[in-house]
């Protein structure tokens, strides 16, 4: 298994280089270093001299990919914005954003608020989706199953924004049970998390419950279920002990892969609830044309996704002893 | 559920559950404010935008400030003992009167500051018992423990001296700082450009990121006379320079603070002067989390300053002089919470958790109603909550510009006949585009139609008949009435486009309107604009693009008609009129003249006017310049936006304006009133939530019954069930 993991990590390197290259190219198709300078320096009194000074200070005064002014090929390739900005990132030196803040420090401080919402949403969500899906399977082909499905389709059809706005209106404004938005320190944070967590769970409930229900229904027709029933097990034991265990592989595929991405937060929820997480960091950076942050966040996202996929593979071996990673 | 229980436990100490502030923040004399855009820089040499200046203006004190209540805006001393004394010198540095602008080679501003002013407590000033700096050479362990200045156990202070002001002016030329006004100031302050070159050389020879001690390098245009007096020498006569002395760019920076924050370990931890300002102002930044909240607290070392005792007629009736002569600041703490979205911001204002709010278009009808006379007032609902409306015309102008390099709408055609035709075309369009209607439809009446580039409240602005644009309006029954579309069509015909058809080619007139990429909401605005041009049978083609490309088009002169705006830096006509000064052309000189307007007479008048003191002769020049502009119509003058702000009853001493930014110190809060209203408006309503849970439990009972029945049923029945299900599946 160690060989397998080592191989997967090595595969990740060209993938990350590719992602970095694509991000770089896409970003600079839309924004030139001059545009970035203007965005940072403001719209008043910006002179060409000020732009040149900014580019020089931030390291954007070189060509993007190929420096024709240099003599040998090595310098032609290395004395470019792409090389200089990329190489440090692979050493996990994210550098400083255009407003001068250290990106790694910023990420650290933003990760916790993102996790404070994403972790409860993930675990409570997973538990409730699986439970509801099993409940629907238990009552399959009854009115509970039918109306449960109708409810799921309805939940799926509603926009995420609607949940947020109506949640804030009902619980925050009309019933005054929780703050409409905000974030706090220590235990104080709990009152701010109630609403976003409920909304986070509810907004994905429809699709997830239906997905898990489908997985469980597929398992229900297998022989071991019939055997379990034949030996006289109660139906809830059949579902929670046998069916759930055997449905773990598809559940793991969906769930474990996103665990590392929980760090990245949720854009919409964080924005509407004023949570200082990582979710809105990238969007803010794109709006302010801060390439250093965009590049770092895309790199981090890609890396976490790759880690998630490796963790998924490893988790298969844990839930199914027949699987070996070689 | 566990979280919810936890929440109930934590909130049991509060009378309301939805209070977004922690108990330690729930104090009486606190102002709860809001910001949407995170500040990028808090270093006064770099910060310029309104999102930054709302903080820096409370912390840093330039030598001058604006009188809080007087209009037009009046400069008064802040840390200075009096307004600067100005000496004018000729080429040979002989003292002259300065009346003749041409003779003035240099102006010397001498500023004397009040002795005894202290900086806020800060570790950069801390010394040990042997008078050695405690934190100027931090060890790695000390740096590791610190995440904010308050993490250092000891603080100190020192007296403000003239050298600190000089130090800050030198920082405009710092090679690692990007001051937006450096290029502008380098044209005036003697030796500033050369100083930048010198510092660049010195910096390249020192270790990267190392402290650059500006005290070692003299700047010719600056002189420290004594501890409390300094001089700034500028080229020629530039009366507007005095306004810059009221901006944080010219606030003092002590060298100790610059050195303290230059330590590489602190920079790595985002502990920089750009993020943790240090000043002598009424407030100091005690919490800096631009993603969540910024907290300003009263500076315990703030010097003696009192609330103004005089204002404008009507100020006393509005209660703006109740606190006359009281010691400032009146509020102990200001909590700025970041709120990116309008809906939660608005709702929290209505709940009493923010003390003031702007009005978004979606909440306008809920908040404001217009009387028959067009006067705005709060709705009944707002009035019942004690909310009041304060309005002010912003010192800004939003206009539609013609690219004067373009052959159809500008002077790019070459021949005098073509230029004359283009001018008439611009005049015709100026009449056709009905900005009164625009303000009514798209700005909810929050604007004042512009008759020229100068905004109201600015020296040089004219009101009433004198201020009317006779090209677009007629004075009828004591008010300006827009000319009829017939007059516009006549001008269009004279321009060679009868009924919008080019009489030489017979083809319809098509014009291009360049705008930045628009949301779906703006579609109606663009449709409206097309209709305005359609009145003259002109086809308007909208060319929408992203902001970068739009800027690019403007810089290269590829746009034909475009939208633009300007917020005044200071309250003088020069700050608007320079936007149309020839040498400021965007295309040829990268200046601020986006329309690329270049009129010899206007340029000449501008050069005379800008160096003159305010007097009737200067006003005459301004009037003539505005007249020239109206005739040439390089802009559709557009409108001056009106700021509408809603304030709770407990928020007092508010006189809004956009020129002076250090106004927090004058505001007052009635904390008792706020607390009682917050309780009244936010009593939790648990009934519906309980009913919901009861219904949920009740709804699950049939499922539980069915479950138990199934579990108790016989195996055979179970088998039948399974068979049926399997068949169904």
Report the percent of chain B where pLDDT is more than 90. 74
* Whether residue B617 sits in one domain with residue B517: yes
Contact assessment for residue B181 and residue B149, using Cβ atoms and an 8 Å cutoff: no
Test the A interface: residue of B42, B144, B262, B270 with most A CBs within 10 Å: B270
* Structural domain contains residue B299: no
User: Phi then psi for B726, rounded to 5 degrees?
Assistant: -60, -40
pLDDT of residue B566: 93
- Measured between alpha carbons, how far is B124 from B157 in angstroms, rounded to an integer? 8
Grade residue B721 by pLDDT with cuts at 50, 70 and 90.
low
| B148-197 confidence digits (pLDDT tens) | 999 999 999 999 999 999 999 999 999 989 898 998 999 999 999 999 99
Asked whether the predicted pLDDT for residue B80 surpasses 50, the reply is yes
Q: Which residues of A touch B17 (CB under 8 A)?
A: 176-178, 191
Check residues B455 and B707 and name the one with the higher pLDDT.
B455
B607's CB contacts (< 8 A; 6+ apart) are none
H or E element: which one contains B198? helix B192-205
Is B7 close to A179, i.e. CB distance below 8 A?
Answer: no
| A158-186 confidence digits (pLDDT tens) | 999 999 999 999 999 999 999 999 998 88
- Measured between alpha carbons, how far is B535 from B429 in angstroms, rounded to an integer? 9
Is A168 close to B184, i.e. CB distance below 8 A?
Answer: no
Contact assessment for residue A167 and residue A198, using Cβ atoms and an 8 Å cutoff: yes
- Residue B259: CA atoms inside 13 Å, Cβ hemisphere, count? 17
The distance of A199 to chain B (nearest Cα, Å) reads 14
* Whether residue B439 sits in one domain with residue B561: yes
Is A177 close to B17, i.e. CB distance below 8 A?
Answer: yes
Q: Which of B3, B267, B546 sits opposite A194 (nearest CB)?
A: B3
* Structural domain contains residue B666: no
Q: Which of A31, A168, A176 sits opposite B343 (nearest CB)?
A: A168
A93 touches chain B (CB under 8 A): no
| A86-107 confidence digits (pLDDT tens) | 888 888 888 888 888 889 988 9
Which of the listed residues B621, B643, B665 is the one where a domain comes to its end? B643
pLDDT of residue B727: 56
Asked whether the predicted pLDDT for residue B462 surpasses 80, the reply is yes
Q: Which of A48, A174, A178 sits opposite B17 (nearest CB)?
A: A178
* Whether residue B705 sits in one domain with residue B639: no
Average pLDDT score over residue span B691-702: 88
Question: What integer best gives the mean pLDDT of chain B?
Answer: 91
* Structural domain contains residue B537: yes
The distance of A102 to chain B (nearest Cα, Å) reads 6
Grade residue A74 by pLDDT with cuts at 50, 70 and 90.
confident
Read off the DSSP letter of residue A174.
Answer: I
B59's CB contacts (< 8 A; 6+ apart) are B42, B120, B277, B278, B279, B281, B283, B284, B285, B296
* Structural domain contains residue B248: no
pLDDT of residue B724: 55
Burial class (CB in 10 A: 0-12, 13-18, 19+), B37: middle
B715 touches chain A (CB under 8 A): yes
* Structural domain contains residue B78: no
Asked whether the predicted pLDDT for residue A310 surpasses 70, the reply is yes
- Measured between alpha carbons, how far is A260 from B675 in angstroms, rounded to an integer? 43
| B503-526 confidence digits (pLDDT tens) | 989 999 999 999 986 677 788 999
Q: Which of B18, B41, B178 sits opposite A176 (nearest CB)?
A: B18
| A51-68 confidence digits (pLDDT tens) | 888 888 888 888 888 888
Grade residue B728 by pLDDT with cuts at 50, 70 and 90.
low
Question: What integer best gives the mean pLDDT of chain A?
Answer: 88
Average pLDDT score over residue span B191-206: 92
* Whether residue B567 sits in one domain with residue B691: no
* Whether residue B721 sits in one domain with residue B574: no
Tokens of B645: 């702000």
Asked whether the predicted pLDDT for residue B541 surpasses 50, the reply is yes
- Measured between alpha carbons, how far is B633 from B411 in angstroms, rounded to an integer? 12
Is B347 close to A184, i.e. CB distance below 8 A?
Answer: no
The number of residues in chain B equals 729
The distance of B545 to chain A (nearest Cα, Å) reads 11
* Whether residue B611 sits in one domain with residue B723: no
Q: Which of A35, A41, A42 sits opposite B548 (nearest CB)?
A: A35
Test the B interface: residue of A42, A143, A290 with most B CBs within 10 Å: A42
Of chain A residues 180-209, which have a CB less than 8 A from chain B? 180-185, 187-188, 190-194, 197
pLDDT of residue B459: 87
- Measured between alpha carbons, how far is A310 from A15 in angstroms, rounded to an integer? 14
Burial readout B206-237 (b: 16 or more C-beta within 10 A, e: otherwise)? eeeeebbebeeeebebbbbeeebbbbbbbeeb
The total number of structural domains in chain B stands at 2
Chain A residue with minimal CA distance to B264?
Answer: A102
pLDDT of residue A41: 80
| B90-114 confidence digits (pLDDT tens) | 999 999 988 888 899 999 999 999 9
Chain A residue with minimal CA distance to B208?
Answer: A57
* Whether residue B633 sits in one domain with residue B576: yes
Is B686 close to A190, i.e. CB distance below 8 A?
Answer: no
Q: How do the residues of chain B divide into helix, strand and coil, expressed in percent and rounded to 5?
A: 35, 20, 45
B158's CB contacts (< 8 A; 6+ apart) are B118, B119, B125, B254, B256
Average pLDDT score over residue span B274-301: 95
pLDDT of residue B280: 98
* Whether residue B692 sits in one domain with residue B631: no
> Closest Cα partner for B43 from B264, B252, B337, B263?
B252
Of chain B residues 270-289, which have a CB less than 8 A from chain A? 270, 272, 274-275, 289
User: Phi then psi for B482, rounded to 5 degrees?
Assistant: -60, 140
Question: Which value, to the nearest 10 degrees, does the dihedral of the CA atoms of residues B337, B340, B341, B344 take?
Answer: -20
* Structural domain contains residue B404: yes
The distance of B52 to chain A (nearest Cα, Å) reads 12
State how beta strands B333-338 and B30-35 pair.
parallel
Per DSSP, the three-state class of B570 is coil
Q: Which of B272, B289, B710 sits opposite A276 (nearest CB)?
A: B289
Distance between terminal CA atoms of chain A?
6
Average pLDDT score over residue span B264-274: 88
**Domain A114-319 in CATH 1.10.3720:** yes
* Structural domain contains residue B708: yes
Asked whether the predicted pLDDT for residue B121 surpasses 70, the reply is yes
In SS3 terms, B373-400 reads as CCCEEECHHHHHCCCEEEEEECCEEEEE
Chain A residue with minimal CA distance to B678?
Answer: A176
Q: Which of A99, A183, A280 sits opposite B40 (nearest CB)?
A: A99
Tokens of B32: 């709860």
Taking the model in full, what pTM does it have?
A: 0.89
Chain A residue with minimal CA distance to B200?
Answer: A53
pLDDT of residue A85: 82
Q: Which of A47, A57, A173 sits opposite B590 (nearest CB)?
A: A47
Q: Which of A46, A101, A284 sits opposite B270 (nearest CB)?
A: A101
pLDDT of residue B151: 93
Of chain A residues 42-61, which have a CB less than 8 A from chain B? 42, 44-50, 53-54, 57
| A170-229 confidence digits (pLDDT tens) | 999 999 999 999 998 888 899 999 999 999 999 999 999 999 999 999 998 899 999 998
Q: Which residues of B touch A140 (CB under 8 A)?
A: 725
* Structural domain contains residue B361: no
B519 touches chain A (CB under 8 A): no
Report the percent of chain A where pLDDT is more than 90. 33
Which of the listed residues B627, B643, B659 is the one where a domain comes to its end? B643
B184 touches chain A (CB under 8 A): yes
Q: Which residues of B touch A101 (CB under 8 A)?
A: 270, 275
- Taking the mean position of all CA atoms in its chain, how far away is CA A252? 16
Asked whether the predicted pLDDT for residue B332 surpasses 90, the reply is yes
Average pLDDT score over residue span B342-366: 92
B518 touches chain A (CB under 8 A): no
pLDDT of residue B518: 67
- What range defines the domain where residue B698 resides? 687-728
- Residue B666: CA atoms inside 13 Å, Cβ hemisphere, count? 22
- Measured between alpha carbons, how far is B240 from B648 in angstroms, rounded to an integer? 37
Q: Which of B183, B272, B350 sits opposite A45 (nearest CB)?
A: B183
H or E element: which one contains B230? strand B229-235
Grade residue B582 by pLDDT with cuts at 50, 70 and 90.
very high
* Whether residue B411 sits in one domain with residue B487: yes
User: Phi then psi for B398, rounded to 5 degrees?
Assistant: -110, 120
- Measured between alpha carbons, how far is A147 from A208 in angstroms, rounded to an integer? 16
The beta strand positions in B12-134, using DSSP E, are 30-35, 64-66, 75-77, 85-89, 95-96, 106-112
Per DSSP, the three-state class of B48 is coil
The distance of A60 to chain B (nearest Cα, Å) reads 14
* Whether residue B692 sits in one domain with residue B624: no
| B5-59 confidence digits (pLDDT tens) | 444 444 444 478 999 998 777 777 999 999 988 898 999 999 888 889 999 999 9
B696 touches chain A (CB under 8 A): no
- Measured between alpha carbons, how far is B76 from B242 in angstroms, rounded to an integer? 11
pLDDT of residue B206: 77
| B338-351 confidence digits (pLDDT tens) | 998 899 999 999 99
The CATH number of whichever domain residue B487 belongs to comes to: 3.10.105.10
A26 touches chain B (CB under 8 A): no
Is A105 close to B270, i.e. CB distance below 8 A?
Answer: yes
State how beta strands B510-516 and B561-567 pair.
parallel
Is A100 close to B689, i.e. CB distance below 8 A?
Answer: no
pLDDT of residue B2: 45
Of chain A residues 211-270, which have a CB less than 8 A from chain B? 217, 220-221, 226, 229, 232, 234-236
**Residue holding tokens 């990329």?**
A86
The distance of B354 to chain A (nearest Cα, Å) reads 12
- Measured between alpha carbons, how far is B93 from B106 in angstroms, rounded to an integer? 8
Chain A residue with minimal CA distance to B337?
Answer: A182
* Whether residue B602 sits in one domain with residue B529: yes
> Closest Cα partner for B404 from B557, B578, B601, B588?
B557
Asked whether the predicted pLDDT for residue B288 surpasses 70, the reply is yes
Asked whether the predicted pLDDT for residue B722 surpasses 60, the reply is no
pLDDT of residue B5: 47
Asked whether the predicted pLDDT for residue B716 surpasses 60, the reply is no
Test the B interface: residue of A59, A97, A171, A176 with most B CBs within 10 Å: A176
Is A32 close to B548, i.e. CB distance below 8 A?
Answer: yes
Average pLDDT score over residue span B249-264: 95
Of chain B residues 331-360, which have a CB less than 8 A from chain A? 337-341, 343-344, 347-348, 350-351
């Amino acid at each position: 298994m160690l060989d397998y993991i080592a191989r997967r990590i090595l595969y990740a390197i060209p993938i990350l280089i590719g992602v970095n290259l694509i991000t770089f190219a896409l970003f600079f198709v839309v924004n030139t270093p001059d545009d970035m300078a203007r965005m940072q320096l403001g719209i008043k009194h910006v002179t060409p001299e000020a732009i040149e000074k900014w580019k020089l200070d931030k390291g954007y005064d070189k060509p993007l990919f190929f420096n024709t002014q240099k003599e040998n090929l090595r310098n032609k390739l290395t004395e470019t914005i792409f090389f200089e900005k990329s190489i440090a990132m692979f050493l996990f030196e994210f550098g400083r954003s255009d407003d001068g803040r250290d990106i790694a420090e910023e990420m650290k401080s933003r990760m916790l608020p993102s996790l404070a919402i994403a972790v409860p949403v993930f675990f409570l969500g997973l538990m409730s989706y699986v439970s509801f899906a099993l409940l629907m399977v238990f009552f399959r082909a009854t009115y509970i199953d039918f109306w449960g499905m109708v409810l799921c389709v309805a939940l799926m059809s509603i926009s995420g924004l609607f949940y947020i706005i109506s949640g804030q209106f009902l619980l925050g404004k009309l019933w005054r049970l929780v703050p409409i938005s905000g974030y706090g320190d220590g235990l104080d944070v709990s009152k701010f998390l109630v609403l976003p967590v409920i909304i986070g769970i509810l907004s994905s409930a429809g699709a997830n419950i239906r997905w898990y229900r489908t997985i469980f229904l597929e398992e229900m027709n297998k022989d071991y279920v019939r055997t379990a029933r034949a030996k006289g097990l109660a139906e809830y034991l059949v579902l929670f002990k046998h069916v759930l265990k055997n449905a773990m592989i598809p559940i793991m595929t969906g769930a474990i892969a996103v665990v590392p991405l929980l760090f990245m937060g949720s854009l919409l929820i964080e924005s509407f609830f004023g949570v200082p997480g990582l979710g809105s960091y990238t969007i803010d950076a794109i709006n302010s044309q801060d390439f250093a942050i965009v590049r770092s966040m895309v790199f981090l996202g890609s890396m976490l996704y790759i880690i998630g996929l490796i963790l998924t593979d490893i988790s298969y071996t844990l839930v199914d002893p027949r699987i070996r990673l070689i | 559920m566990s979280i919810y229980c936890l929440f109930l436990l934590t909130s049991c100490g509060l009378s309301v559950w939805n209070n977004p502030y922690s108990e330690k923040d729930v104090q009486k004399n606190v102002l709860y404010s809001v910001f949407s855009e995170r500040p990028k820089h808090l270093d006064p040499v770099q910060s310029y935008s309104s999102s930054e200046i709302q903080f820096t203006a409370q912390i840093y004190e330039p030598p001058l400030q604006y009188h809080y209540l007087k209009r037009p805006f009046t400069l008064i001393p802040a840390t200075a003992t009096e307004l600067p004394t100005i000496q004018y010198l000729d080429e040979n540095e002989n003292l002259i009167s300065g009346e003749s602008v041409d003779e003035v080679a240099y102006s010397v501003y001498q500023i004397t500051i009040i002795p005894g002013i202290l900086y806020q407590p800060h570790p950069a000033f801390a010394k040990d018992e042997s008078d050695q700096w405690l934190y100027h050479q931090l060890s790695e362990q000390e740096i590791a423990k610190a995440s904010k200045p308050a993490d250092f156990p000891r603080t100190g202070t020192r007296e403000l001296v003239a050298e600190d002001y000089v130090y800050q002016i030198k920082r405009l030329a710092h090679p690692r700082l990007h001051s937006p006004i450096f290029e502008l100031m380098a044209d005036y302050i003697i030796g500033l450009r050369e100083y930048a070159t010198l510092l660049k050389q010195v910096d390249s020879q020192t270790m990267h990121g190392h402290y650059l001690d500006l005290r070692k390098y003299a700047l010719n245009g600056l002189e420290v006379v004594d501890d409390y007096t300094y001089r700034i020498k500028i080229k020629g006569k530039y009366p507007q320079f005095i306004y810059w002395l009221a901006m944080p760019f010219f606030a003092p920076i002590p060298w100790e603070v610059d050195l303290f924050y230059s330590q590489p370990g602190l920079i790595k931890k985002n502990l920089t002067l750009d993020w943790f300002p240090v000043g002598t102002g009424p407030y100091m930044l005690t919490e800096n989390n631009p993603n969540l909240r910024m907290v300003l607290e009263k500076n315990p070392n703030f010097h003696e300053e009192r609330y103004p005792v005089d204002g404008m007629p009507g100020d006393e009736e509005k209660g703006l002089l109740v606190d006359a002569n009281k010691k400032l600041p009146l509020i102990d703490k200001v909590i700025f919470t970041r709120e990116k979205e309008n809906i939660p911001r608005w709702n929290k204002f209505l709940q009493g958790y923010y003390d003031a709010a702007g009005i978004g278009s979606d909440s306008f009808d809920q908040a404001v109603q217009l009387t028959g006379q067009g006067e705005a007032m709060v709705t009944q609902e707002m009035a019942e909550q004690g909310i009041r409306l304060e309005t002010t015309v912003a010192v800004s102008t939003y206009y539609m510009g013609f690219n004067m390099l373009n052959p159809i709408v500008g002077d790019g055609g070459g021949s005098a006949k073509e230029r004359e035709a283009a001018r008439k075309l611009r005049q015709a369009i100026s009449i056709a585009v009905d900005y009164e209607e625009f303000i009514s439809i798209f700005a909810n009446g929050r604007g004042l139609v512009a008759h020229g580039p100068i905004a109201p409240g600015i020296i040089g602005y004219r009101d009433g008949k004198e201020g009317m644009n006779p090209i677009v309006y007629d004075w009828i029954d004591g008010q300006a009435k827009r000319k009829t579309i017939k007059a516009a069509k006549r001008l269009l015909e004279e321009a060679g486009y009868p009924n919008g058809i080019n009489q030489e080619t017979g083809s319809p007139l098509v014009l291009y309107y360049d705008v930045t990429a628009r949301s779906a909401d703006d579609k109606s605005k663009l449709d409206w604009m097309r209709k305005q041009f359609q009145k003259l049978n002109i086809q308007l083609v909208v060319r929408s693009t992203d902001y970068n490309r739009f800027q690019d088009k403007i810089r290269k002169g590829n746009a034909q008609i475009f939208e633009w705006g300007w917020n005044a830096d200071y309250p003088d006509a020069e700050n608007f009129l320079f936007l149309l000064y020839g040498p400021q052309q965007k295309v040829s000189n990268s200046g601020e003249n986006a329309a690329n307007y270049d009129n010899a007479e206007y340029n000449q008048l501008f050069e005379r006017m800008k160096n003159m003191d305010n007097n009737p002769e200067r006003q005459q020049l301004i009037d003539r310049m505005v007249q020239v502009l109206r005739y040439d119509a390089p802009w559709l003058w557009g409108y001056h936006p009106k700021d509408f702000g809603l304030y709770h009853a407990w928020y007092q001493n508010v006189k809004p304006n956009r020129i002076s930014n250090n106004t927090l110190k004058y505001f007052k809060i009635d904390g008792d009133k706020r607390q009682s209203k917050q309780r009244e408006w936010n009593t939790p309503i648990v009934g519906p939530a309980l009913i919901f849970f009861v219904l949920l439990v009740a709804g699950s009972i049939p499922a539980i019954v069915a479950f138990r029945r199934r579990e108790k049923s016989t195996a055979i029945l179970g088998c039948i069930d399974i068979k049926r299900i399997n068949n169904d599946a």
